[in-house]
Amino acid sequence: MSRIGEASGSASARVQQARTQEVRPPPPPPAPPGTSRTSDTFESATAGRRGTPALGSPTPATTPLPVGTAGTQVVTTDTVATYQAGPPQRPDIHHDNGFLQNPNDPNDRTPIATQSPGVGDYAARAEWEGRLAAGRAIQGVPGVPHNNIPDGLDTYDHFLHGNGADRHFSYERFVSTDPAGQAVLTNSTRDTQQGAEAYYNQLVANDPSLANRPVTFQITGSQIPVGSSEQFPYPETENWQKAIGGHNVWNSATVTVYPPEQPGGQPRFSMDMTLHAEDRYNFNPGQHDIATGAPDAANGRLERTGLGHQYTNYGTLQRQVTWTQGSPENAVSRPIGGR
């Protein structure tokens, strides 16, 4: 996982004592012109305000025709992810093993064996248990450093007590409480919109009659790394730096396209999209915590002795997105289910 600004990273001081002075990193640079940075307007705008007719009112009389062949590559040059037709298919995402990585092969996906803990290791584990409890006690206390890291504490708690089991977290909370999460949602949605338009154009090019009737198809994308670009920036808040840091997302979608309502108009798109996120929670040699500077090595020793366990975090969110072809920037996005 990557929890430090540069690469994989640290959770070591996710639970530093309250007296530790917080050092916050500078925010990511502003996105270049034309790059959507946050999703506030994108998420809340009405169809009329954004200039895009809302789909489904009135409901088209013709049932959309399922089209497309699973596995067909979407030909596009303007997306970050690559897309193919078909149902959701998890990309082959590679996670490192932190302090359990094979030192002779960085691509080895099998963790090396743990060592037997000694008396000092048990004492260190007890110390970090105390720091976790202290961190929980100061949440919400005004004026105290590290008083708003509930998700960071939950992920560290699972490191100590989860025995390596997978964990599921709320990506909705990341999007709603961290500006970087808003940017990731907006820009990954735009990327999938562009993939949907590209595949529709392929279908119509192969069968021009499809332009005259409603059609529906599925697409699924490759992973997009979060944390190393202006489009997909590293978390800005200490809470999410500690909880997930750098991670990967990939999108899948069911897309329905309706022909223009008026001659010379543009097709209308309705996309039910799922954003899938995952992150390997562990500690990495040579890394440190952003907010406190604490080295990963302390908790790395817990990994090496089996007193703490790396694990994989998973999260999803869903959106219905509507727009007219050629104007993805004017889309209306709503949580599926009215949340």
pLDDT by residue for the chain (339 residues), tens only, comes to 544 433 334 444 343 433 333 333 344 443 444 444 334 445 544 433 333 334 444 445 589 999 999 999 999 999 999 999 999 999 999 999 999 999 999 999 999 999 999 999 999 999 999 999 999 999 999 999 999 999 999 999 999 999 999 999 999 999 999 999 999 999 999 999 999 999 999 999 999 999 999 999 999 999 999 998 999 999 999 999 999 999 999 999 999 999 999 988 999 999 999 999 999 999 999 999 999 999 999 999 999 999 999 999 999 999 999 999 999 999 999 999 754
Query: Two tokens at 104?
Result: 């002779």
Residue position matching structure tokens 């529709």 = 200
Which one, of 199, 336, 200, 178, lies nearest residue 266 by Cα?
200
Helices (H) and strands (E) in the chain, counts: 8, 9
Query: Two tokens at 233?
Result: 């920036």
Query: Two tokens at 13?
Result: 């001081």
For the entire predicted model, the pTM comes to 0.83
d(CA 233, CA 24): 15
Q: Which residues contact 36 (CB under 8 A, 6 or more apart)?
A: 42, 183, 186, 187, 190, 329
d(CA 282, CA 330): 39
Q: What is the pLDDT of residue 125?
A: 98
Cα 263–Cα 264–Cα 270 angle in degrees, nearest 5: 90
d(CA 337, CA 317): 11
Tell me if 188 sits within 8 A of 318, measured CB to CB.
no
CA dihedral defined by 141, 145, 151, 157, rounded to 10 degrees?
-100
